[in-house]
Structure 1
Amino acid sequence: MNDSLDIWQLADGKPGHENQSLGLIEAIGRRLAVTVHRIDLSGVKGPIARLKSAFRQTHGLGTPGLVVGAGHATHVAMIGLARRTGTPCVVLMKPSLPCGLFDLCLVPQHDLHGGIPGDNVVPTVGALNRVRHSEKPTRSGGLVLLGGPSSTHGWDSTVTLDAIGRITAANPGQSWALTDSRRTPEGVRDEIRARFPHIELFPHEETDRAWLPARLAGSAEVWVTEDSISMIYESLSSGARVGLLPVPRKKSGRVARGIDQLVEDGLATPFESWSRTGTLPPPARALREADRCAALILERWYPQAR
């Protein structure tokens, strides 16, 4: 390895997948210098076409130190580049192809219900993300993050907004901010403005991708609707106290398992528990999954750089 680690990041254009890859790459970059080449496969149809596109985009770049990607559309191209260059490849999330084709798979533990399929599979607490554990000596204020109906959860505005009302009323001297998401039903913002004039509302389309990490870093407590699995893990990664706002579950499955495990492990508190005690405890442990995985990768392939 030279003075910096050359990382090829395969991207399918989906913000959630990009968030995971960059979370890992940035965590590696906090340990040593990295050079990142982004290989854009968005809009390219079919695995063979994506493989050819990846080969064209990396022609003349030399040999990387690591190939990283997330999302089904990146898998064949990732394997092809790794085989061509003799470079380790790291896939995030459970791949649609056999795990044995990748050098390392970083898979959320709630997706491994049948057990860990091999030594190259590392369970993670949720998907990796770019949010860093905040070291701010003082944190203040509350943050509310709203999702919306999904394949796993429904939506009941009355129940969710009543919960928000009880939570904010219990902390009358605390400032509150709220943002929604693309899935939040139309009309919810108007209800929030009418019922909670003391809550500062930030529509999601008016925020950039730096807004949420910055808000999380300074918030003392964060309440997230249970359907918003990504925002739950981002909130936990920040080190804030995290509560779960009630939304109806449609079915049990991997998302429900993941949420139940967080509660069992003392990382997040359901609204029902808070309503009985009035207490939102801090997480039982710090969640620094991107940093943990970055350290594991360097120990495995570049121990001299740790």
Structure 2
Amino acid sequence: MSKSQVEGKNLKAVFIISDGIRGHVNQSRGVAHFLSELTGCRVYELEINEATTNLPEASLGHKSLSAGLKGFYLLKVLGRRLAAKDEGFIRRWLARAGALSLLDRAKNLLDASGVKQENALFLSAGSSASLYCFALARLLKCRCATIMTPSGLGVSPFDFAIVPKHDCPKPACNVYVTLGAPNMVTPQKIRSEADALSRLYPPLSHKRIGLLLGGSDGNYELTSRWVGQNLEPLFEHASDEGMDLYVTTSRRTPRDVEDMLRKMRDKYPCIRYLCIASCDPYNPVYGIFGLATHLLATEDSVSMISEAATAGFCVGVLPVERKKSLKRAVEGLCSFLISTKVLSPKRLFGVPKFVLAIDELCSLGLARWIKSASELRAFLNGNSPAKHGLQFCEAKNAARWIVSAFEEGETAR
């Protein structure tokens, strides 16, 4: 056991139940990494089979619609009942989900590891994965942990729940509240990835800007108009000041924005590196963290902003366009009713909920809104700190909390 590990040895194995969604996997792996670092436990990963239904085909005339309805019934209707049902119901649910093989793999891994049931933890992030995580842990008589708030089960059935503050969780002994999202950012990973990226695209300037671009989703839009209004001035300023830019997009970045960025790369030599995520499986984010002196990220991804803050940056947050819809009006009304204390803060949703999360990071000096060209220039020209100098690692903090409960031989409840 290394000096960084705690004295207790009760946690022996962590089984990540993965839904394959990059953000969810990143959060689970981050917490599992620190659990292993703290205790020396082994980490295993099992991915859910996305073909999750063996229900009879419905005669709806369209296979994809039928599969969607079956999945909804299985996950949103039957899944909500798991915590209140016996082991027979849970096993039948797994069978209908086509996941008995997942149970067999988990049992075989547990048996092969030689770890006792009370020394194993099942861990997942996201609502769908939480159902399988709970079901497997219940049947194998192990403890279980969820990251984020599962929409179906909620947090109460879990031994440990790691929940972001903007979800407004009720105080409970099995709940650990985080600011932002846990992640896999570690100094070692940053150093190794930065060395690799530097060899391929060596910096030419002492001032290097990392730019993390998200994309469009149900709340936000990243458009070519936004790029022209916000990124072109940034690239012009970087060129004038002799700064380097390391840029990456996300899988949600629209195609026309990707095409525009390619043209800008040819126009602005200050762009030392551009990663188009839809075409390149390489994830350059950790390398960018190691090379950058300043970090900018779009507001649509709290997880990206959290990663950058974990890496030590006071992140410059770039507002993006919000999708116009009836939902925006309802969000605004709910936000107003919450501010007047007519509604509970738990009712906050959509854009205001994510803005609240970013505002929390800003209040601690971990991020800063960049809403104008003058604020951008001040941010890049040294009139505000580029690094926050704080200890901020929510994955490690959450792992310590879980380990503490394990070492006392208890659940968090």
Which TM-score applies when normalising by structure 2? 0.65
Deviation (angstroms), 1:190: 3.0
Match of 2:231 in 1: 161
CA distance in 2, matches of 1:24, 1:236: 16
Equivalent position SS for 2:173: coil
Equivalent residue runs for 1:215-234 within 5 Å:
215-234=288-307
| Preserved CA contact (<8 Å) 1:145 1:179 | yes
**Pick from 121, 134, 149: which aligns with 2:216?**
149
Asked if the contact 2:179–2:360 (Cα under 8 Å) also holds between the matched residues in 1, the reply is no
Q: 1:55 aligns with which of 103, 107, 122?
A: 103
Distance in 1 (CA, whole Å) between partners of 2:408 and 2:214 is 41
* One-letter amino acid matched to 1:120: N
**Per-residue displacement from partner, 1:140-163 (whole Å, max 9, x unpaired)?**
622111112222222322222144
Whole-angstrom CA distance in 2 between matches of 1:225 and 1:91: 27
Q: What pairs with 1:276-287 in structure 2 (closer than 5 Å)?
A: 278=381, 279-281=383-385, 282-283=387-388, 285-287=390-392
Residue of structure 2 in register with 1:199 after alignment = 271
Distance in 1 of aligned mates of 2:150 and 2:233: 37
Query: CA–CA distance in 2 between the matches of 1:283 and 1:100?
Result: 35
**Counterpart of 1:193 in structure 2: which amino acid?**
R
Query: Which of residues 176, 195, 203 in structure 1 aligns to 2:245?
Result: 176
Aligned pair in 2 of structure 1 residues 263, 241: CA closer, same or farther (>3 Å)?
closer
Asked if the contact 1:267/1:284 (under 8 Å) is kept, the reply is no
Gaps of 5+ in 1: none
Structure 1 or 2, whichever has the larger Rg, is: 2
- The answer for the alignment partner of 2:164 in structure 1 is 108
Distance 2:280 2:140 in 1: 42
The separation in 2 between residues aligned to 1:167 and 1:234, in whole angstroms, is 26
AA at the equivalent of 1:129: N
Q: Which amino acid is the alignment partner of residue 70 of structure 1?
A: A
Percent sequence identity over aligned pairs: 26
Q: Are 2:350 and 1:260 equivalent residues in the alignment?
A: no
Letter in 2 for 1:82: A
Aligned equivalents of 1:76, 1:146: Cα separation in 2 = 31
Q: CA RMSD in A?
A: 2.8
Pairs aligned (count)? 299
Of stretches 30-39 and 122-131 in structure 1, the one that deviates more from structure 2 is 30-39
CA deviations 1:58-116 (Å, max 9, x no partner) are 2332335211111222223222232233322110111121311001110111122xx42
Per mean C-alpha deviation after superposition, the further-off stretch among 149-158 and 119-128 is 149-158
Q: CA deviation at 1:32?
A: 2.6
Match of 2:310 in 1: 237
**Which structure is higher in helix share?**
2
Map of 2:404 onto structure 1 = 299
- How far apart are the structure 1 equivalents of 2:230 and 2:16? 39
**Following TM superposition, by how much is the alpha carbon of 1:296 offset from its aligned partner in structure 2, in angstroms?**
1.0
Distance verdict in 2 for CA 1:81–1:124, change over 3 Å: same
Q: Distance in 2 between matches of 1:192 and 1:8?
A: 44
With over 3 angstroms needed to count, the CA separation of the structure-2 counterparts of 1:178 and 1:219, relative to structure 1, is same
Q: 1:75 matched to which residue of 2?
A: 130
Alignment of 1:84-99 (within 5 A): 84-96=139-151, 97-99=153-155
Q: Which amino acid aligns with 1:145?
A: L
Verify: 1:208 aligned to 2:278, yes or no.
no
Amino acid at match of 2:43: V
Q: Secondary structure at the match of 1:236?
A: helix
Q: Secondary structure at the match of 1:107?
A: strand
CA distance in 1, matches of 2:26, 2:163: 15
Q: Report deviation, 1:276.
A: 5.5
Please state how far the C-alpha of 1:12 moved relative to its aligned partner.
Answer: 1.3
Structure 2 counterparts to residues 3-18 of structure 1, below 5 A: 5-18=12-25
Between the aligned partners of 2:287 and 2:408, the Cα distance in structure 1 is: 32
Q: 1:13 to 1:258 in 2, by over 3 A?
A: same
Determine the C-alpha separation between the residues in 2 that align with 1:125 and 1:229: 10
Determine helix, strand or coil for the equivalent of 1:101: coil
CA displacement at 1:164 relative to structure 2: 2.0
Do structure 1's residue 123 and structure 2's residue 177 form an aligned pair? yes
Q: Structure 1 residues 215-224 or 80-89, which shifts more?
A: 80-89
Report the Cα distance in structure 2 between the residues aligned to 1:207 and 1:79, rounded to whole angstroms.
31
Q: Distance in 2 between matches of 1:3 and 1:111?
A: 31
Moved more, 153-162 or 41-50: 41-50
Deviations 1:175-221 (A, max 9, x none): 22111122223222234224422212222232524x32132133221
TM superposition score normalised by structure 1: 0.86
Which residue identity lines up with residue 58 of structure 1 in the other structure? Answer: A
